[in-house]
Every structure is written in structure tokens, then in C-alpha cells.
Amino acid sequence: MSPLHDKNFESIEQHEHHHHIVSPRIYLTIVCILLAMTGLTVAASYVEMYVFNAVVALAIAAFKMILVVLFFMHVKYSTKLTKLTVGAGVFTFLILVGMTLSDYWTRAWGRW
């Protein structure tokens, strides 16, 4: 094993096995943003935006989800294995939904 490889491996080990404690300040900031976003999405639903009402609401929901996953669920501070698992989960979920929708979409849409 080359010294360089060894050194890299050690740094990965250290990085991966360091248990990060997220501070209450971060949690408090995140919860305030989440509550503000809830207010924003309710306010946005009172504005007539036609098809964009759904788009805006889902975009805000996705943003809130990302904050919860990264900070409350510690994924930002997690091992590469956890990050990969979460990413693969979301990816597989989107594939399944996408395939299902494309199947329904291309056969007798709405005639059931």
C-alpha cells in the first residue's frame, strides 16, 4: 500500500467516523425557516397563479424536505454511505413514479 493511499484512507476513516453533534443554534434557525416557509406556502395559495399554484406549493415542500433531511436528519454531517443511500432512495422513487406516470400517460389517459 503506497503511503499516499494510506494517508487518504486514514483521512476518510477520520472523516467518516467523527460523530458530529449539530448545535441547537442550527436547529433553531432551521425550524424558523420551516415555519416561515409554511406561512409562505399558505399565503401563496391565496394568490391566483393557475397551474403555478401547484408548482410553487410543491417547490416550497421540496425545499422544506431538503432542510429537514440535511439538518434535522443529519445527512449533511453523515457518512458517504448514508448520503449515497438517501440519494439512491430518492432516485429510485423518482424512477418508479416516472415510469408509472409515463405508462398511464401513454395508454387511454382518463378512460377508466
Partner 1 sequence: MSDSQVVSNQVVVHGAAEGAHHEHLPYQRHHFETYAQQSDATNFAMWLFLITEVMFFGGLFTAYLIMRNWYYPAFVEASHQLNIFWGTANTAVLITSSFTMAMAVWSAEMKKKGTLLLCLTITFILGLVFLGIKTIEYGEKIEKHHVPGFHYSMQSFLNPQSDPEVYKEYKDKPLSYDMARHTELYFFLYFAMTGMHALHMIIGIGILVFMIFRARAGAYTTGHVTFVENFGLYWHFVDIIWIYLFPLLYLISRHQ
Contacts with partner 1 by CB under 8 A lie at 16-17, 19, 21-24, 27-28, 30-31, 34-35, 38, 41-42, 44-46, 48-50, 53-54, 57-58, 60-61, 64-65, 68-69, 71-74, 78-79, 81-82, 85-86, 89-90, 92-93, 96-97, 100-101, 104, 109-110, 112
Question: Can you give 31-65 as a three-state secondary structure string?
Answer: HHHHHHHHHHHHHHHCCCCCCHHHHHHHHHHHHHH
69: closest CA among 55, 58, 82? Answer: 82
State the minimum distance, in angstroms, from the CB of residue 65 to partner 1: 5
